Amino acid sequence: MKLSELHRRVLALVRDEKLLAAGETVVAGVSGGPDSVAMLSLLNEVNAGSRLRLKIVVAHLNHLLRGDAAAEDAAFVKRLARRLGNEFVLKEAPVKAMAEREGRSFEDVARQERYAFFEALAKEHGAKKVAVGHTADDHAETVLHRIIRGSGLRGLRGIRLQRPISDGSPITLIRPLLTCWRAEIVGYLKEKGLDYRVDETNMDTQYLRNRIRVELLPVLERSYNPGVKMALIRLAEAAQQGYE
């Protein structure tokens, strides 16, 4: 079987960075978007083509924000998980109402609820790893976001390849697609004939992170530096070395 470039890259990252160990259970957080669908497909490919013998548990959190579209996302992820032979677990949480009640941003509460769900599920299944689909684009966007917010050296490290999912937790959050670009991921999905869901709220520019992705970064690439994303990632690497 001919391996895709992303398959080779993810397999090398898993091996070189010891992201996964043979025989372990891993919880895969899957929203149904292109990044998480590609991650789940690649984890299954790597598992089938190696001696890892992983058990993959697919976790999906419905934020109850988009009505029928959100329910369709959950149904899509459930079908995908079953087709791949993975266990599927769904949780629902009224994130918008929680954010309003607590006076916090929707993004922060959604992230907190997702990771708390993933961590609890990992403990329930005896898993030591939770995999999420952050990409190189997400890494660059995070660094720029933190520059804008005035972050110090610690924050400029951006997205780490692996870290405890919460303070003091024995569960490790891993990001096997962190060296992969979004355009490569879309190409991989097309090559494999894999569908994915589109969350229109990712284009909602009332959120700063979305404005950075949709408006600011394209201007920086077009008018200032076509390689600005790679420059931001190099800055994160330098910040990591300085922080250590």
pLDDT for the residue numbered 173: 99
pLDDT for the residue numbered 3: 66
Please count the structural domains in the chain. 1
- How many Å apart are CA 199 and CA 196, to the nearest integer? 10
The pTM score is 0.94
pLDDT for the residue numbered 66: 82
pLDDT for the residue numbered 1: 42
**Enclosing domain of residue 194:** 5-243
Q: Which tokens in the block code for residue 139?
A: 């890494």
Query: Can you list the residues of the chain whose pLDDT is less than 70?
Result: 1-3, 244
- How many Å apart are CA 175 and CA 35, to the nearest integer? 11
Task: Write the CATH number for 170.
Answer: 3.40.50.620
